[in-house]
Structure 1
Amino acid sequence: MDAAAAAEMHVFKKPKPLRLYDQQAPLVGGDGGDDLDLDLINHLPDAILGTIVSLLPTKDGARTQAISRRWLALWRSHMAPLNLVANYQLSDDKSRVAVVSKILTDHPGPARRFSLNPTCSQSFQAEVDGWFRSASLAGLQELQVTNLPMKHYPLPQHALVRFSPTLRLLRLFGCQFPSLVAPLSFPFLEQLILYDVGISEDALETMISGSTVLKSVSLHGMRFSRLCISSPTLMSISFYALRSKGAITFKELVIRDAPCLERLLPIFPEEGPATIRVIRAPKLETLGFLSKEISTLRLGTIVFQKMIPVRLTSKMPTMKILALDVGENLDTVVDFLKCFPCLQKLYVISHQGNDMNNVRKYDPANPIECFELHLKKVVLKNYDADKKACIDFANFFILNAKVLKEMEIGILREQTDQWMWYHGTKLQVENRASRDALVKLRRDRYAIPANHGHTHDLSLTDPFEKSLCGHNKSARYQIL
């Protein structure tokens, strides 16, 4: 090898792997200080390591005992609260009861999370009920009971009585809520998620109003004649019912007094409730999806019947985000926009059979206030670029929304770039009211309101960004 080749050659030394062991390791090893022997993980305090172990999946958390003598004691200490998820990832159905029982015996508690699917152990009901009495579950913060295949698992009364003082999250699927002699107090409950749960209106209303830090409620597949909610702390509520023999089983939802409520989310409006009444929610800023399947929508003194305005005697300046399942019915959309003068983001979903009344013209003498000052983003889903009604609908916003920053249009079916370009030319982008507006055509599958699992996540500024299936961010044609 000549000198030039040797000069260009890079020689790499194989690095020493990080080691986990139970004695303290020097931060710097070797005579020259350049041979670092780091054990950063074991330099962490036990409290931090315990938190890490508690956040791991159940099986992985238990396996940390094999790392060293220090970690053996860590998993079984109070510094690593138990995170027990009894599902197929923990073990198969035949051995799961024994595995869960052993974990509850070995771990002294307290517990952070207990997630249980009782269907795997229908013949061991006594053992399952006994788990809720285990000392390992002391101080439980999150309880999830899923039992969809077996209608309806009777949640033991002693479970709620025991855990109500410490629970922060309660998620029940396909369960029967126990009958309680006296209402329970949930002083730390922040999230309540119920799916097809057998519970009376009175019991649920009392539970919600009595949870003094409750922030989020999700009611899915529920059956109520009239549910009336009052909560001083509730920030978000999502809901839908299930039809029974074609009839809506959730008749009416009333928000009587919710001074902190920001989100009102009827996820599948065709499933109910048939009537939504908001009496007091002065901070409401996110609403949808709305459709004509909601027979009556009352927001203070504003009243819509099947999306047709009956009384528009006031406005809601707090509303920032609106999702409508109304198609290209411009009259309906404009009526809602006039109710919400400070609206910033609008979603409109179209379906076959939706009304397409879009002959309305913008009247500068009677302006839409949000068009003048606030509306920055419009998202159109299930857009059919071959229909003039759809094109006119999109152009109404392009030509009149003066502060629009972005319009996103979901095109049905896979199309070529040439097709996208041609149909993009039908949009009057050159005459757009906002010179900063960016119009994007995206290839989309058929979109419906879906994926409601994240709606309780208050860290999301806009819950609808992840609520529409079929979105493909990588496939797009952009019009500047």
Structure 2
Amino acid sequence: MDPQVIVGTRMSQAHLYHDRKDPEALETSLNMLLYMVHHYLPDPPVSNSGPLSLHGASWMPDGVDRISRLPDALLRDIVSRLPAKDAARTAALASRWRPLWRSVPLTLVDSHLLPDGGAAGPLVIGAPSPRAVTSAVTRILAAHPGPFRCVHLTCSNMDEHRIELERWLVLLAAKGLRLSHPLTRLYIGVWRFPDTAAVPRAATFLNLRELGLCLTAMEDRDLAFMLERSPVLEFLTIVGSQTGVRLRLLSHSLRCVQLGHTYLEDIDVVDAPRLERLFQWTTFGAPATLRSRSSRIKIGHAPNLRVLGYLQPGEQEMEISNTVIVAGNKVNIVPSVQILAIEVQFGVRNVIKKVPGFLRCFHNLHTLHVLSDKHEKPTGKVNLKFWHDSGLTCVLTMKVFFYEFRGSRSEVAFLKFIAERARVLEKMVVVVASKYFSSGDDVNAKLKPLTSAKWNSKACKLQLFKSPLTDGGSTLHNPVASDFSFADPFDLMYYEESL
């Protein structure tokens, strides 16, 4: 397994948010964010749930310790697969075991050091810092010479343990990951970046391929520092950024970028020749404090960008450098994008009016995913005439997926327009929001204008499903978004009930 380091100590409420809010509501929001971060972080390669005791083992009738007779290389491999606490305990088995745990790559997950072994889940914001865990981490890092196979530091409070945390970073840097175990994965969660301006220019992450920044407070220069010092970085994930950071992508190695619940002000893809996937995802139906606030996305040189979403017409502005001549007019397009996902509030007229302009930017679509996002205060609807007058003359796509359909006039008008104008449409999938329809008859009544439309593609199949989600949600599964074995990472929802 590639070495992985996760640095994630808890910040105080003051560090996470500076504006004045109701304390109870603030703590609830922060706990939701913290849960989201812990849910997203990769699982450690070891577990402390397996039984280790040999008491009463019937297969050792003669009491001979055959395990200790195994070769050192095999014993080290066994110890390396144990949590740090259990690995250290093996030193008490026999004299031969004493040096083993110090000679293997360390797997240190501080939640395993809690009294319940972390079974209760991640600690919440405002909970008292587990000082015993912090002390145990300090002792383990001091006693073990390295290298580190995997490090998860997520339980300590930055405010209470600044000196210890600084010491941890020094120890990690000093003992590091040896050349035989280069650092390839780094996740930093619930963290305030130090001032990177003082870091020597020679400091680089030469082997880093995967970087995750989860619920971090950082400046533009901090993010630029991490990207500039990672010459082979392929996967970048930013979840819950707490400041209005501007993301400027200038990388010849990046292949996949994920942005979730972020407060990024600008996304500027300047020069990313290997970039294939660019994702933004939000908490569906969540308050504004947890939603994406990206105000502008600019696509420059990204000739291999195939997958893009979820874009949010009405909340984002798009700027594209490539232009083509269509019907005598210059049109800005991203010719390489084949899979596009958009999130649309069909109850807000000013948002719907932005959708045609977004779709005109993508002339080579294979698949279009549309997530219908409800709005608490609808401000207008549109009919089929709006789409015919929008200037969107045709939609070149083979598959259309429409999620959380509620049967509004605006939703039906959009689907009918696609059915009548899509030239090569092979399949249209409509996923019905579970709480809006109690039976298939209701759905059929709402979709009657669509089923009676003059479909441009006579061979197209219309499929209806009932959403298995009670409160709606995105179809993007974050762990597989960067898994290139999935050709379409948005097409991952399995529907429990077909209408």
**TM-score bucket of the superposed structures, by smaller chain:** 0.5 to 0.7
- 1:231 aligned partner: 251
Matched, 1:426 2:435: no
SS at match of 1:271: coil
Deviations 1:154-202 (A, max 9, x none): 4632324513861221122213445563253222222111112244432
Matching residue within 236, 239, 259 for 1:220: 239
- 1:90 aligned partner: none
Aligned-partner Cα distance in 2 for 1:330–1:239:
23
The higher-RCO structure (CA 8 Å, 6+ apart) is 2
Structure 1 residue 343: Cα displacement: 0.8
- 1:182 aligned partner: 200
Aligned-partner Cα distance in 2 for 1:416–1:195:
41
Matched, 1:171 2:187: yes
State the AA in 2 paired with 1:173. Answer: G
Structure 1 residue 151: Cα displacement: 6.3
Residue pair 2:320, 2:333 contacting (<8 A) in 1 also: no
> Normalising to structure 2: TM-score of the pair?
0.66
Matching residue within 127, 131, 139 for 2:140: 131
Deviations 1:31-63 (A, max 9, x none): xxxxxxxxxxxxxxxxxxxxxxx9663554967
Matching residue within 191, 214, 217 for 2:210: 191
Aligned-partner Cα distance in 1 for 2:133–2:406:
55
- 1:69 aligned partner: 66
Deviations 1:5-48 (A, max 9, x none): xxxxxxxxxxxxxxxxxxxxxxxxxxxxxxxxxxxxxxxxxxxx
Alignment of 1:50-449 (within 5 A): 57-60=47-50, 69-70=66-67, 73=70, 77-80=75-78, 82-83=80-81, 99=86, 101-102=88-89, 107-111=101-105, 114-117=108-111, 121-133=130-142, 135=144, 137-138=146-147, 140-147=148-155, 154=165, 156-158=168-170, 159-160=172-173, 162-163=176-177, 166-177=182-193, 181-182=199-200, 184-222=203-241, 223-241=243-261, 249-268=263-282, 270-292=291-313, 294-300=315-321, 313-328=331-346, 331-350=353-372, 351-352=374-375, 353=378, 356-358=381-383, 359-362=385-388, 367-368=393-394, 370-371=395-396, 375-385=397-407, 387-412=408-433, 413=435, 414-428=437-451, 431-444=454-467, 445-449=470-474
Aligned-partner Cα distance in 1 for 2:458–2:157:
55
Aligned-partner Cα distance in 1 for 2:485–2:425:
25
Structure 1 residue 459: Cα displacement: 3.2
Structure 1 residue 341: Cα displacement: 0.8
Aligned-partner Cα distance in 2 for 1:149–1:431:
62
State the AA in 1 paired with 2:454. Answer: N
Structure 1 residue 233: Cα displacement: 0.9
Residue pair 2:219, 2:245 contacting (<8 A) in 1 also: no
Structure 1 residue 324: Cα displacement: 1.3
Structure 1 residue 378: Cα displacement: 1.0
Aligned-partner Cα distance in 2 for 1:426–1:330:
20
Deviations 1:238-268 (A, max 9, x none): 12456xxxxxx53333333211111222223
State the AA in 2 paired with 1:406. Answer: K
SS at match of 1:464: coil
Q: How many residues align?
A: 389
Larger deviation, residues 261-270 vs 349-358: 349-358
1:416–1:171 CA distance, 2 compared to 1 (3 A)? same
State the AA in 2 paired with 1:146. Answer: T
Mark the structure with the bigger radius of gyration. 1
State the AA in 1 paired with 2:220. Answer: E
1:206–1:441 CA distance, 2 compared to 1 (3 A)? same
Gaps of 5+ in 2: 1-43, 60-64, 92-98, 114-122, 124-128, 283-289, 324-328
- 2:485 aligned partner: 459
1:102–1:415 CA distance, 2 compared to 1 (3 A)? same
Structure 1 residue 391: Cα displacement: 1.8
Structure 1 residue 382: Cα displacement: 2.4
1:172–1:55 CA distance, 2 compared to 1 (3 A)? closer
Gaps of 5+ in 1: 1-53, 87-97, 243-248, 303-310
1:108–1:354 CA distance, 2 compared to 1 (3 A)? farther
State the AA in 2 paired with 1:175. Answer: W
Aligned-partner Cα distance in 2 for 1:112–1:406:
51
